[in-house]
A and B are shown apart, each in its own frame.
Chain A
Amino acid sequence: MLLNLSTAVRDSAAFVSYVESASGQRISDCYQCGKCTAGCPVSFAMDLMPHQVIRLLQLGFRDEPLNSKTIWLCATCATCTTRCPRNVDLARLMDTLRNVARQEGRTGAGKDVALFNEVFLESVRRYGRAHELGIGLRHNLRTGRLLKDNDLARTWFLRGRLQVRPSKVREVAEIERIFGEIARMEDGE
């Protein structure tokens, strides 16, 4: 597909500069050596290679990276960040892109991942820590794949790694306050 660079840049200059400031990374620093892609443990499942995500940003493309599966599949293992010869924190850049995508409701490509984040945060909000069984059940219920990871759950359960009842932190109210604070910050933006 032909990319028109002139229109791309015109439409997304603000987006690129937002991504740069939010991630603290200078996108032009990348010289496309490809070491990030070469070392990425998840690249086999990605639709855009990690170096292509940053390349598209360099050329001023907004939709392609934001709609990609890649930003959701990134496991934030930071292998790319550790190895980058130009000190670009690509993992952080991916995080920023996920944030933007979520704010814009573009979670289509990474629907399950976004849902997992949501369920995980719900658990944290309620108990102050993650309740694995609850998170797993809820995620399976809402994705409709009820038996997903069932075998893993049994093993964990037998070894006492899966608590049936959630344990709560003492100051749940404090947690709630933090969540409220964050919501205010996000609104203020």
Chain B
Amino acid sequence: MARTGVFVCWCGSNIGGVVDCAAIAAQAATFPGVAYSVDYKYLCSEPGQNLIIQAVREHRLDRVVVAACSPRLHEETFRKVLVRAGLNAYLVEMANIREHCTWVHGAEKERAQQKAVDLVRRAVAKANRLEPLFESSIPVTKRCLIVGGGIAGIQAALDVADAGQEVLLVEREPTIGGNMVKLDKTFPTLDCSACISTPKMVAVANHPNIRLYTYAEVEKLTGYIGNFEVTIRQKARYVDHDRCTGCGTCWEKCPCKVPAEFDVGLGHRKAIYIPFPQAVPNKPVIDREHCRYFTSGKCRVCAKVCPTQAIDYGQEEKIFTERVGAVVVATGFGLFDWSRVYGEYGYGRYPDVITGLQFERLVNAAGPTGGKILRPSDGNIPRTVVFIKCVGSRDEAKGRNYCSRICCMYTAKHALQVLEKVPGARVYVFYMDVRAAGKGYEEFFQRAVREGAVYIRGRVSKIFRDGRRLVVRGVDTLLGRPVEVDADLVVLATAVEPAAGAAETARLLGVNTDRDGFFQEAHPKLRPVETHTGGVFLAGACQAPKDIPDTVAQASGAAAKVVGLLSRDQLSTSPMIARVNEVLCTGCFLCVPVCPYRALAPKKISERLPGHPLREREVVTVNAGLCQGCGACNAICRAGAIEVRGFTNEQLLAEVDALCL
């Protein structure tokens, strides 16, 4: 018979303010198997923990029930207490009488008291049947995969590589750099984006610990924390990068002009191209979709002019398979396509209504206009520029209901840039709120106002064309009056959304997404860079809209987690996972497809039954590294051959009996 100790925590007034903890402890003393029970104000504190240890020793307890908060908060704490008391860590059972009782039943104290007692009775019934469990260990592959080569991926790669670990950096575009290298200046310091990001790109390319896969995508990720296997598919570039010197003759001579993705459609590139002059790697790829040779079978100009015979039209895509121990997802963001839904802003029909990212390219010295702010329609300098914030953000009807976080600041920056570059320019900013919550951000916004940007609180209801001008009609809610501005250029701060293909990436990497499609962190406050999949971490705007400082900070945080993981030779795995009783397993494998972690696989065993010859048959087996102990297999197993350790059928039924009988 078990000797179970029951410890009831007041949690200050969280529990003690609603129910009578001493009465719960007194009643628990009468439950079968309970050898000792007591209540205490804060069991998780040092004296509280010592109280448990002392009671275990004095009363020779071999099972412990802690009636306190959620096991998600402190189960681990009390497991360590048991170890210190000389017991197996898994002989503790928690009764959650805070979240499940006092926090939600504060208005009905008597019934809360009864429920708390019931919850403790349930926990005691289970505790009496707990068995010691033992952790096992798995080896760690000391290599990290980073998906996405924007500033988040670059920062994480450099930090992990500098710590001495090997990094594979995979980027789907022909160059790393992401969105940050498209920007002209960065708020709130107005330092040049290229000057602070391109050196990092070069550092990545030259780092002995980093292997770069550009124009490549992760195709498959299998395995588990410490032991992943990744398949990387690198698209055919049709240029032999070992031979190519990046001299640029090919893209000069290429006869085929295509709107440049890098310039957000405002400029052009050739069919053989590097996205921008400082690209890493600084060697071109051929865009097969637009290349004249691939579309019509004739041309081959690039092959003719190439001095090193690097053009290879027959090149095929390459598949790489690598083992890694950790994964950082840094796939960044995309921008909301406003032109599909904002009819009142012209559905994208007016060329002089552009997005913030297009404005970045217009104002960028390396952009299509050489840094001159010119209207896309006629190339004239705009005298009046209107900025509209929250286009798609905080707009449940048309877009997304969250705040995109970066628009307030980059719009203030754009306003300053117009005022600086166009003497006598008028700048109007339509806003709903100015959210400048960052170091130096409010001051930066005030600077834009002081320099002459007129901020108007209200949404723009309509933009329409009147001759060569755009009439912007909105409201000043501070005055309570509708207003109108004759604008030459209108810049929309469109919402930040998950990068194209984020849902597919999430499925591929086994990461959850939130309701907006961003990748879900394990805990919003305490585990912001981890995911629910062990060994997979998040960095940057793929997790939520984020500016550059926050992105870099999170990337370094993810890198620290990776380095911490890879610095270990062995990982211990939770023992609370599925266990197969091979004698009972019939080999139906119904469990295999229901496992969300792909942890189950068939294996052959040989068995000898009395009176029968030795025979081979297939049963299911559990991969301890992958299994998360969810219990889906347990529920579907017809033979009752799979149980989750720590949640066996016997234990669960004892709990049901304790509650219902």
Chain A residues close to B by CB (< 8 Å): 1-6, 9, 26, 28-29, 31-32, 51-52, 55-56, 58-59
Contacts and interface: CB of A to CB of B under 8 A. Distances in A.
B479 A2 contact: no
A109 B484 CA distance: 27
Interface in B462-508: 473, 476, 478-479, 481-486
B483 A1 contact: no
B303 interface: no
Nearest to B446: A31
Given A1-B481, A3-B481, A28 B428 contact: no
A32 B457 contact: yes
Contact of A59 (B384, B449, B452, B476): B476
B615 interface: no
B457 to A, nearest CB: 7
A56 B450 contact: no
Nearest to B448: A28
25 contacts: A2-B473, A3-B476, A3-B479, A3-B481, A3-B483, A4-B483, A4-B484, A4-B485, A4-B486, A5-B428, A5-B484, A6-B426, A6-B485, A9-B426, A28-B449, A28-B452, A31-B446, A32-B457, A51-B478, A52-B479, A55-B476, A55-B478, A56-B479, A59-B454, A59-B479
Contacts of B478: 32, 51-52, 55
A59 B450 contact: no
Contacts of B485: 4-6
A36 to B, nearest CB: 13
Nearest to A10: B426
Given A26-B450, A28-B449, A55 B483 contact: no
Of B452, B473, B476, B486, most buried by chain A (CB within 10 Å of CB) is B476
Contact of A3 (B450, B454, B482): B482
Interface class of chain B by DSSP: strand
Interface string B604-616: 0000000000000
A32 B431 CA distance: 13
Contacts of A3: 476, 479, 481-484
B130 to A, nearest CB: 61
Contacts of A4: 483-486
Contact of A5 (B449, B457, B483): B483
A130 B276 CA distance: 78
A1 B476 CA distance: 11
Contacts of B476: 3, 55, 59
Given A52-B478, A52-B479, 5 more contacts: A4-B485, A5-B428, A5-B456, A29-B450, A59-B456
Contacts of A9: 426, 454
Contacts of A1: 481-482
A56 B483 CA distance: 12
A32 B457 CA distance: 10
A70 to B, nearest CB: 13
B266 to A, nearest CB: 26
A19 to B, nearest CB: 15
B482 A2 contact: yes
Contacts of B426: 6, 9
A29 B447 CA distance: 10
B352 to A, nearest CB: 15
A6 B384 contact: yes
A70 B505 CA distance: 61
Nearest to A58: B454
CB-CB nearest 4 A-B residue pairs: A6-B486, A3-B483, A5-B485, A4-B484
Nearest to B384: A6
Contacts of B449: 28, 31
A59 B479 CA distance: 10
A1 B480 CA distance: 10
A2 B484 contact: yes
A52 B484 CA distance: 18
Contacts of A52: 478-479
A31 B476 CA distance: 13
Given A51-B478, A55-B476, A59-B476, A2 B483 contact: yes
A170 B655 CA distance: 104
A2 to B, nearest CB: 5
A4 B450 CA distance: 22
Contact of B479 (A28, A29, A31, A55): A55
A58 B484 CA distance: 15
A29 B445 CA distance: 11
A28 B481 contact: no
A169 B457 CA distance: 55
A56 to B, nearest CB: 7
A78 B617 CA distance: 94
Of A6, A28, A32, A59, most buried by chain B (CB within 10 Å of CB) is A6
A58 B446 CA distance: 14
Contacts of B456: 5, 59
A32 to B, nearest CB: 5
Given A1-B481, A3-B476, A52-B478, A28 B486 contact: no
